[in-house]
Amino acid sequence: MKMEIVFNKPYQTGQEFQNIQESLTSMCISGNGVFTKKCHAFFEREYGFAKVLLTSSCTDALEMAAILLNIGPGDEVIMPSYTFVSTANAFVLRGAKIVFADSRSDHPGIDEDAIEDLITPRTKAIVPVHYAGAACDMVKIMEIAHRHKIMVVEDAAQAIDSYCLDAEGKPKPLGSWGHLSAFSFHETKNIISGEGGMLVINDVSFIERAEIIWEKGTNRSQFFRGQVDKYGWVDIGSSFLPSDIIAAFLYAQLESINHIQNRRKEIWNLYYRHLLPLQEGGFLKLPSIPNFASNNAHMFYAVCNSLEQRTALISFLKMNGIIAVFHYQSLHRSQFHLSKNDDVYLPHADHYTDCLLRLPMFFELSNEDVHNVASAIKEFFDL
């Protein structure tokens, strides 16, 4: 029988359905309902976030951040090129010029040492992306931002339950560093709700306006708290809040977060152990977790030596019933960005675009599956 190992399988704890039943039975199905508030409380309690607001997607959370920072035409925003389109689009929608930084040589995350040279008087924000859930050097980035009076928005789409060591060497949750942060609960993430996201507000001066923007630019939250006697149009904004049905699903996942994370880390470590000989033999590179970062086991990737090698390896694995995939097409090389006549040379981002390979990685992946994937890769390299 031919092996079949898919790339991703969204995991359900079993409690999602009961929560949704509760949501439907209580007729609490529009935004900001009982489960939304439970999710908010969970994140504020467990990770010390000053304030969180669930959104329909991580894209939405990034768009809220762009609105909160009053990003407008002429403003510049610095971010890595090796990221998802939404990191950039959220700011482009407000008129920003995106200034792309290269990745680190040892990691797809932004090269922290490249940031300062890109800052101009028009720079409004830095958007580090914690690729694969491994922290960017937030001590360094926050210091640069502070010195230049620039805001920081963490794109923590993949970075739930991950940490960066602070100046005293204590782990501080990703998402709690920037003035604002955005998380994703898309079905490809560790903790999911189908589609879904969250804005984290650490700079408390943004909280009041964030609630307004979340509620379509109205002061509806103040109305429900009895602070105003009717609510109306006071700002720009959108309908960023998800149905409580989505929050009901998400809350089930949050209650099992330790269980989910522990198993994912086991899988990750098993991959690492199986594939280490390949790195030692120079066939490919395994993920390097910077010493200030934790590993939340969002993704297991390997970096091939060339595009041709990666293409051949993907085909070989597919022939063996294993789905492995490449990842981002660096945004500085996209049709959209090149149309702006803003060509830049970012060799590390180009390298990850061509050579990074993602292996199957999900909660229900068995140890045997991991063994089989690793064996197939070794076979490809004649080991």
The binding site for a second copy (CB under 8 A) comprises 9-10, 12, 16-17, 20-21, 24, 27, 29-31, 56-60, 63, 73, 84-86, 88-90, 92-93, 95, 186-188, 192-196, 216-218, 230-239, 241-246, 249, 329, 331, 334-337
Least distance (Å) between residue 197 CB and a second copy:
8
Instruction: Please list, in sequence order, all residues whose beta carbon lies within 8 angstroms of the beta carbon of residue 336, skipping any fewer than 6 positions away.
Output: none
Residue closer to a second copy by CB (options 61, 141) is 61
Pairing of strands 197-201, 180-184: antiparallel
Least distance (Å) between residue 134 CB and a second copy:
23
In the numeric block, the tokens 């939304």 are attached to: 36
Residue closer to a second copy by CB (options 150, 246) is 246
Residue closer to a second copy by CB (options 86, 372) is 86
* Chain centre to alpha carbon of residue 164: 15
Residue closer to a second copy by CB (options 246, 299) is 246
CB 337 within 8 A of CB 331: yes
> What are the Cα distances from residue 266, in Å, to 49, 286, 368, 370?
27, 16, 13, 11
Quickly count: other Cβ atoms within 10 Å of residue 288's Cβ. Answer: 14
CA distance linking residue 263 with residue 196, whole number of Å: 23
Least distance (Å) between residue 24 CB and a second copy:
6
CA distance linking residue 272 with residue 266, whole number of Å: 10
Angle between helices 58-68 and 207-214 (to 10 degrees): 130
CA angle at residue 108 from 175 to 152, to 5 degrees? Answer: 35
Least distance (Å) between residue 178 CB and a second copy:
20
Residue closer to a second copy by CB (options 19, 181) is 19
Residue closer to a second copy by CB (options 238, 288) is 238
Partnered with residue 125 across adjacent β-strands are 77, 151
Least distance (Å) between residue 109 CB and a second copy:
19
Least distance (Å) between residue 8 CB and a second copy:
10
